[in-house]
Structure 1
Amino acid sequence: MSDLHARMAARVGDLTAVVVARCAAEAPFYGALPRATLQGEVARSIAAVHALLLRALRNGGGEPLGPGDLTRLIEWSARRAEERVPLEAVIAAYLIGAEVWWQTLTEVAEPGELAGAGGKLLACLHAALPAVVLAHQNAQEDLHSENKRVRRALLGALLAGRPYEELASVARVAVVGEHEVVAFAFESDPPSRLVQSSLDAFTGIPVLMDHVARIALLPGRSDVPGLVARLEKDVGQPVRAAAARSSVPAAIPSAAQEAGRVLDLVRRLGRPPGCYRLDDVLLEHQLARPGDGLVRLAAKLDPLEEHPYLLETLRVFVERGLNRRQTALELCVHRNTLDYRLQRVTTLTGLDLAVPAQARLIQAALVARVLAGPADHRGVTGWQGSAGAAESG
């Protein structure tokens, strides 16, 4: 094979140029590379593979690729993966190179040399491609794992208000301008990969998300209600979410705290699935401040504690916007029965739903009861006496 080796060695420079040109024309990844990169690093890599093929031609009946050759291929493949070269682009380059090598063999080989040279080429591909694929995949997995670690660290730094610039550079994430901080609550725990895939697909970018704390960071003014609707469909269960906007990265920690408080309120109040902001629960947020005011407001309805059907009637009446017809329909009672129950509420509490100011107080008291907890945990023994006095008066 020495003569064939010499003939192929004389063509290697031309072969490399042909393979580079075809890679640029047929593989989109290489077509997008700068000309200097194609003629520099890419051409050097192709020439190195040609050198391995030349050694295989000279190797007689031995193994086409020795352990040292495979080690070099594995090293190159791992480096390509670290440089974010897609595996399909790497395989395309090897196959284009093999085709060009074979075409050249048919031009320079003697009839008696061609079968052996073709066998050497196939043997090289058989040995090289599995090693290349495995090395590339292993390097990608390591890189992906490291990327996830860096991205988690970046999100943690942003949420905590710590320096994040170096982490953002390593993660290749631009952290500028506005962001939406979104906290999620699921009825059951969906797979983290499914949630991440849904968020990434909706936004078109890899979303920073803490899958333990269930909080995500979206750049710009994202369509959060649309995202929640998409997520519900993908995970197959209702989703509650709370969003808060930060105008600059430094405001992300306060936005995260706001989103967390809103989500907590939504869950405690039993609000239906969907997306909420602070403005959607502004009154409830203010009422939720701990203190005597919340306790005393909740105690306004303590006289109804022994009449759960009255509390339920009052709750539905308020949720239906004080609409008697809709309330009666939902409760499946006659309008006269509803009127009687509402009159009993007025008698027991001393608060008249027909008086706008007192109706607003009752509405706030209903919210306060949820936020303050059951009466026997509020320590308000004196307040039932006051309500009773109002009833007897």
Structure 2
Amino acid sequence: MSDLHARMAARAGDFTAAVVARCAAEAPFYAALPRTTLRGEVARSVAAVHALLLRALRDGGATGPVRPGDLTRLVEWSARRAEERVPLEAVVAAYLIGAEVWWQTLTEVAEPGELGDAGGSLLACLHAALPAVVLAHGNAHRDAREQLHGEDGRVRRALLGALLAGQPYEELADLARVAVTGGHEVVALAYGGEPPGRLVQSSLDAFTGTPVLLDHVARIALLPAGADLPGLVARLETDVGQPVRAAAAPAPEPSAVPAAAQEAGRVLDLVLRLGRPPGCYRLDDVLLEHQLARPGDGLALLAAKLDPLEDHPYLLETLRVLVERGLNRRRTALELCVHRNTLDYRLQRVTALTGLDLAVPAQARLLQAALVARDLAGPEPPPRRPAP
């Protein structure tokens, strides 16, 4: 498929010119545009979609017909077109014209044996792209109405606020035209920085295929039950270009949303305090840490078990890596780039200073818990903004 990719890439300029010319001739909206707009913004959009089709042709479906980041960009392009008052029928017509020109070009440059896979790639791209484009266009029109009237936005925010507060929500759901019956996943989000709210919303909508209730301030999202949350977090990281940590809790019915939101918030706070890597977490993933974090003197006493190592940071690091590697000494030595004998000497020093022997299972568990307690007893992260 690489030879065909090269042949199609060589026709990029002809493809863009042909699509723009046909749009101007066949779609009334484009026919009314100035030539400078057609040759500028419209041609750039066509060229971007052409690049997407080329990548799908080159990859041969290895990463799916449309990569997650490409799909999010399509959503963003469509949202901008809607903000510019481009009718949805004109956008769809442009995509279909582009598909026809792409196929015509394929028949001119492809060998007979290449057309089947290339045609399948084209149809797969349309199947993935058009629903997302239509959804984004509708969302953007909704956002435009919110900017003009503000009512839809207020209703959706009020709906999510009512659900999070355990207040009556049925009338708000009807006004917002959002179905909230049944189960949900309440997800608390933390980013490496401050991603644009619209980009996060577009990514969530494109991944789930449905508008997602999202509070950009409290960073709480209400997702359908059964959603692929690890996949969603990985997709969101790609789209926003930042590490993402998420904590999820199930809400089997709307009345359970407040408790699920509190659980997700507690889990996320623990994940941040413990410095866990990006990803999606549930209470089961931090169950021990959650229990250790309960108020009381036990946490400080447990953390104090490691006070003798305070002046020996390399011993603390060695113990931490050993715990993270499941007490596997070979993997720990490789991670620390030290000889196995050096590792054994360090662990003997840990035992001598703390009085706790890693060779004794009960004492090894106590050392693991002491590490967690030490992390929890450290400085807390900045407080998360509370949900309404």
Give TM class, smaller chain: 0.5 to 0.7
Give the one of 236, 241, 245 matched to 1:231: 236
Is 2:273 aligned against 1:262? no
1:365 and 2:370 equivalent? Answer: yes
On the 8 A contact 2:192/2:243 being kept in 1, the answer is: yes
Q: Report if the CA contact (8 A) 2:143-2:153 is conserved.
A: no
The DSSP-based 3-state class of the residue aligned with 2:150 is helix
- 2: CA distance, partners of 1:165 / 1:198: 27
What residue number does 1:275 align with?
Answer: 280
Equivalent pair of 2:309/2:353 in contact (CA under 8 Å):
yes
1:204 to partner: Cα distance: 0.9
Residue in structure 2 matching 1:156, options 161, 166, 169: 161
Checking the alignment, whether the CA contact within 8 Å between 2:187 and 2:264 is kept in structure 1 is yes
**Is residue 320 of structure 2 the alignment partner of residue 315 of structure 1?**
yes
Query: Which position in structure 2 is the counterpart of 1:67?
Result: none
Give the SS at the match of 1:180. Answer: strand
Q: Which of the two has higher C-alpha Rg?
A: 1
Seq. identity, %: 81
Matching residue within 197, 201, 217 for 1:196: 201
Deviation at 1:142, TM superposition (A): 4.8
Is this contact kept in 1: 2:306–2:370, CA < 8 A? yes
Partner of 1:381: none
After superposition, what is the alpha-carbon deviation per residue over 1:50-96, rounded to whole angstroms, capped at 9, x for unaligned? Answer: xxxxxxxxxxxxxxxxxxxxxxxxxxxxxxxxxxxx95579xxxxxx
Contact 2:186 2:257 in 1 (8 A): yes
Once the two structures are superposed, residues 282-341 of structure 1 have per-residue CA deviations (whole angstroms, 9 ceiling, x without a partner) of 111111112111111111111111111111111111111111111111112111111111
CA contact (8 A) 2:142 2:152 kept: no
Give SS of 1:218's match. Answer: strand
Higher relative contact order (CA 8 A, sep 6+): 2
2:310 aligned to which of 305, 308, 313? 305
The answer for the alignment partner of 1:111 in structure 2 is: none
Distance in 2 (CA, whole Å) between partners of 1:138 and 1:346 is 62
For 1:126-161, what per-residue CA distance to the aligned partner results, in whole angstroms no more than 9, with x for missing partners? xxxxxxxxxx99984556732121111110110111
- Cα RMSD of the aligned pairs, angstroms, is 2.6
Per-residue deviation at 1:226? Answer: 1.2
Contact 2:247 2:268 (8 Å CA) reproduced: yes
Give the whole-Å Cα distance in 1 for the aligned partners of 2:227 and 2:156. Answer: 20
Structure 1 ranges of 4+ moved more than 3 A: 86-90, 136-145
2: CA distance, partners of 1:334 / 1:211? 49
Alignment correspondent of 1:332: 337
* Alpha-carbon spacing, 1:159–1:138, altered in 2? closer, same or farther (3 Å): closer
Instruction: List runs of 5+ in structure 1 lacking aligned partners.
Output: 1-85, 91-135, 375-393
- Report the CA distance shift for 1:341/1:144 in structure 2 as closer, same or farther (over 3 A): farther
The Cα of 1:236 is off from its aligned counterpart by 1.2
1:198 is paired with a residue whose SS is helix
Question: Counterparts in 2 of 1:1-393, with a 5 A limit?
Answer: 87=87, 140=145, 142=147, 145-373=150-378
Amino acid at match of 1:289: R
Cα gap change, 1:297 to 1:222, in 2 (>3 Å): same
Equivalent AA in structure 2 for residue 255 of structure 1: A
From the superposition, tell whether residues 175 and 352 of structure 1 become closer, same or farther in structure 2 (CA, over 3 Å).
same
Shift of 1:373: 2.1
Q: 3-state DSSP class of the match of 1:189?
A: coil
Task: Supply the AA of the counterpart residue of 1:234.
Answer: D
Q: Could you state the TM-score of these two structures normalised by the residue count of structure 2?
A: 0.60
With over 3 angstroms needed to count, the CA separation of the structure-2 counterparts of 1:339 and 1:163, relative to structure 1, is same
Query: Letter of the aligned partner of 1:301 in structure 2?
Result: L
Q: Aligned partners of 2:225, 2:264: CA distance in 1, in Å?
A: 16
